[in-house]
Amino acid sequence: MTAETPEEPGGFDAGTPGRHCLDAMDRPDEGTLTDFEAARITVRLGAIANNYKTVQRLAGTAAAAAVVKADAYGTGLAPVARQLVAQGCDTFFVARLEEGVALRPLAPGARIFVLDGAQPDMVPALITHSLTPVLNSLAEVAAWSAAATATRTRLDAAVHIDTGMNRLGMTTAELGTLAAEHGKRLEGLRLVLVMSHLACSDDPASAMNRTQLDRFRTALAMLPPAPASLAASGGVLLGKAYAFDMVRPGLALYGANPHPCEPSQFAVAVQVTSKILQVRPCVKGDTVGYGASFRAKRPTMLAVTGLGYADGLLRALSNKGAAAVAGVRVPVAGRVSMDLVTLDVTDVPMPLVPGMDVEFVGDTVTLEEVAAAAGTISYEILTSLSGRASRRYEDMP
């Protein structure tokens, strides 16, 4: 029985802040490590800063917040948050309570919105760490209002209106109740934001965008005046009508294209590379990898690289993905395994040797191309990046 089987799952830890290596000086004991890194994730903080500025330009007079949930989309919360704070970003969105708690010391003067809301067990920590919940139901409004009464303070709150996602957010019926009884329901609360979320902002031609825009405007007219936010990354590209008072970019900050059908306006911020471990020939008819799913149709040169699904290269890229060697695109040959992936490098015109770099995501192979080959979206590619691969951060603030 082999140590790895074709049925092995592809799940892994997406990493946590503090696990990522910043540079050689931050290594705990240089003498215990080598200079050889089989897999590396490079995060270009300067590109993230430039992408934030691009969003600011596109948003016009609207403020630009930053979504840093899921460990800043897999790029590393601490260095990314510090870079954004250095660019003047003073408003952040996270999903989980623990993300907000981790972010607070990194952005001590910022407003931090927690998208999960204010479940009763979350209330003490929300107050302790000065986090602002995004209230998704009348029950959460009641819980947060009760907390304001109990602490004899006035608490900031955001209200999330569902305009067509049918995910989190107040229903039409709840909106009607809140609008009719807002004086009582919002007692002790300071309404600092009313928000909603677009379902189809990645498709500029979708009629759903206009439908949700109209529904959001109707909701705003029913509620007490407050700053409003509808657009995340895709919505920013839909135009000024969607910007309102604040936009909430996430994906665009990390270099992905929110409108894959159009040229990207955002700089590449993440590069995933690996080293060639072995170069080997195979004859016509030879197979490669688990399940023998690749069979050479000609005399073939293969390069085995030190990257696998444990590092974030999705197993769905087996026989579908591509990489770049010396700027030449080459296909994945066979299945992606836990620690290795094999490439067909027959058409690379230069000699290849162990130790050479191979790009799997970056300047030549885009996030959108990788996502399309894997049958998924750029969000999953980014947030699947593992903590095992070495991390390097360029352009530290």
End-to-end CA distance of the chain: 50
Options 52, 53, 69, 240, the catalytic residue: 69
What are phi and psi for residue 192, nearest 5 degrees? -100, -10
pLDDT in tens, 290-338: 999 999 999 999 999 999 999 999 999 999 999 999 899 999 999 999 9
The CATH H-level (homologous superfamily) assignment of domain 45-254 is: Alanine racemase (3.20.20.10)
Instruction: Let me know: does 363 contact 268? Beta carbons within 8 Å.
Output: yes
| pLDDT cut 90: percent of the chain above it | 89
Q: Examine the pLDDT at 10 and tell me if it is beyond 60.
A: no
Active site residue 290: yes
Q: Which residue has the tokens 């020939």?
A: 281
pLDDT in tens, 240-249: 999 999 999 9
Q: Average pLDDT, whole number, for the chain?
A: 92
Q: What's residue 17's pLDDT?
A: 35
pLDDT in tens, 248-279: 999 999 999 999 999 999 999 999 999 999 99
Q: Examine the pLDDT at 67 and tell me if it is beyond 50.
A: yes
Options 242, 254, 290, 393, the catalytic residue: 290
Distance of alpha carbon 32 from alpha carbon 18, whole angstroms:
19
- Cβ within 8 Å of residue 225, ≥6 positions away: none
| pLDDT cut 70: percent of the chain above it | 91
Which letter, b or e, does each residue of 312-330 get, where b requires 16 or more Cβ atoms within 10 Å of its Cβ?
A: bbbbbbbbebbbbbeeeeb
Largest CA distance in the chain: 78
Q: Beta strands 189-195 and 228-229: pairing type?
A: parallel
SS3 259: coil
pLDDT in tens, 89-125: 999 999 999 999 999 999 999 999 999 999 999 999 9
Distance of alpha carbon 185 from alpha carbon 306, whole angstroms:
57
Active site residue 320: no
Q: Tell me the domain boundaries of the chain.
A: 24-37+269-394, 45-254
Q: Domain spanning 24-37+269-394 has what CATH number?
A: 2.40.37.10
The type of residue at 200 is C
Q: Examine the pLDDT at 34 and tell me if it is beyond 70.
A: no
Q: What's residue 396's pLDDT?
A: 73
Beta strands in 196-289 (DSSP E): 228-229, 246-247, 270-282, 287-288
For 243, other C-beta atoms within 10 Å of its C-beta total 22
- The model's pTM: 0.89
